[in-house]
Amino acid sequence: MPPPLPPQFELKQNKKDRVWYFKVLFAHAAENGRLYYYHFPPSASATASTGTSSYLAITLWVEAMGLMADYGVRRTSLWGISYLPPAKAPEIWLEITPPGQPRPILLPPKVGNLLGGILDMETSLMQLTWQVHADLAETIKNSCRAGVETVVPPTSVCLQPGCNSAPLREEMVAEARLFTLCRGVLPIFSKSLYCRYTDLISFFPACHTRYYNNYFVKDTSKGDAEQQYYSPQTPTLIHVLESAYIEPTLCKYFAMEMLVSQFKWYLRGDFQGYNMSLGESDLPNASRLSSELTGPLVLDAFFLHAILQDKQNR
């Protein structure tokens, strides 16, 4: 059976009746063609499989928390549990204010108890977390948009000649993984910005340059577009793939292992040891992205780091 995944949260306000509520999406995973739902807290049975048993298990738990009468969901079908297609996990929508009231400073006790149970936190700590992070929860919208770090370009204006330091726009945010030597694999987000500046006086062509953390790419739609790095210095995080960053210290570890073993470390697949030990992290890391180190990723990181080091030393 696949390992349990953390639930996802979203803080929303219904524009029609101005009711603040939490949406809790219970995690699910598939294995051998069978879909598993997980209900919380972790100490509860986490083996409910497809069918009404999973919904019933969650319903009974929520009912035991005393939430049925006062804090139902906005999509109610059975005591606060939404019936969804089999490919989706059940949701709970918890109202935290009466209609028209502002977002509360403290969560209602029953909601605080439920969220504390889901996150395996003391109720008092849950309330403190709410006070500190309520604004952030509203901004981020859901837990899938929060990472350990957000990697951004080093500039907010275009660096191309003729653009007159035009502000960069068209922000794009992509989910990514950061592979580290000492902290394991961490969830991060990578932000890029775009420039379409056109000088209407000289009719200078549109810029079409996208800026990333390590480099920028001009005319990305062209087949001969190149990555141009901002500085000869090796970046603090190396952007190896669109969804993968690697710390230079980990790249040095790859180089050392390959040097000592004369590449046998790589050929034998010994880098898998990273996935079983060094890559482990205690942070919630559920994602569509893989958190495993692969052979192609190791080679890409090894050669890219070597090229950047050579550029720095010239």
- Three-state secondary structure readout of 25-36: ECCEEEECCEEE
Strands (E), the chain: 8-13, 20-25, 28-31, 34-37, 91-95, 149-151, 169-179, 185-195, 209-211, 215-218, 227-229, 238-241, 244-246
Mean pLDDT across 146-164: 81
Does 97 share its domain with 164?
no
Q: Which of 62-71, 132-141, 229-238 has the highest mean pLDDT?
A: 229-238
Q: Give the percent of the chain with pLDDT over 90.
A: 7
- CA 68 to chain centroid: 32
* Sign, Cα dihedral of 123, 126, 131, 132: positive
What pLDDT was estimated at residue 187? Answer: 82
Structural domain harbouring 303: 149-313
Which residues are CB-neighbours of 184 under 8 A, at least 6 positions away?
Answer: 278, 279, 280, 281, 282, 283
Residue 34 · residue 50 · CB < 8 Å: yes
Report d(CA 257, CA 57) in Å as an integer. Answer: 49
pLDDT in tens, 54-97: 444 444 444 444 333 333 333 333 333 333 333 344 555 666 77
Domain boundary among 116, 145, 174: 145
Residues 123, 154 within the same domain:
no
Does a structural domain hold residue 1?
no
pLDDT beyond 60 at 1: no
Are residues 154 and 300 located together in one domain of the fold? yes
Are 200 and 60 within one domain?
Answer: no
Query: Which phi and psi angles does 136 have, rounded to 5°?
Result: -65, -40
CB neighbour list of residue 75: distance below 8 Å, 6 or more residues apart: 82, 91, 93
Mean pLDDT of the chain: 69
- Is 155 in the same domain as 304? yes
306 and 208 co-located in one domain? yes
Average the pLDDT over each of 11-25, 71-85, 140-154, 243-257 and give the range with the smallest value: 71-85
Domain match, 118 and 93 both = yes
Structure pTM? Answer: 0.57
208 and 235 inside one domain: yes
Residue 269 is assigned to a structural domain of this protein: yes
Judge if 169 and 116 occupy the same domain: no
Token pair 């979203």 in the structure block, residue: 10
122 contacts 114 by C-beta, under 8 angstroms: no
Q: Among residues 96, 120, 145, which one ends one of the domains?
A: 145
The answer to whether residues 122 and 14 belong to one domain is: yes
Structural domains counted in the chain: 2
Model confidence band, residue 211 (pLDDT cutoffs 50, 70, 90): very high
Region 26-40 average pLDDT: 43
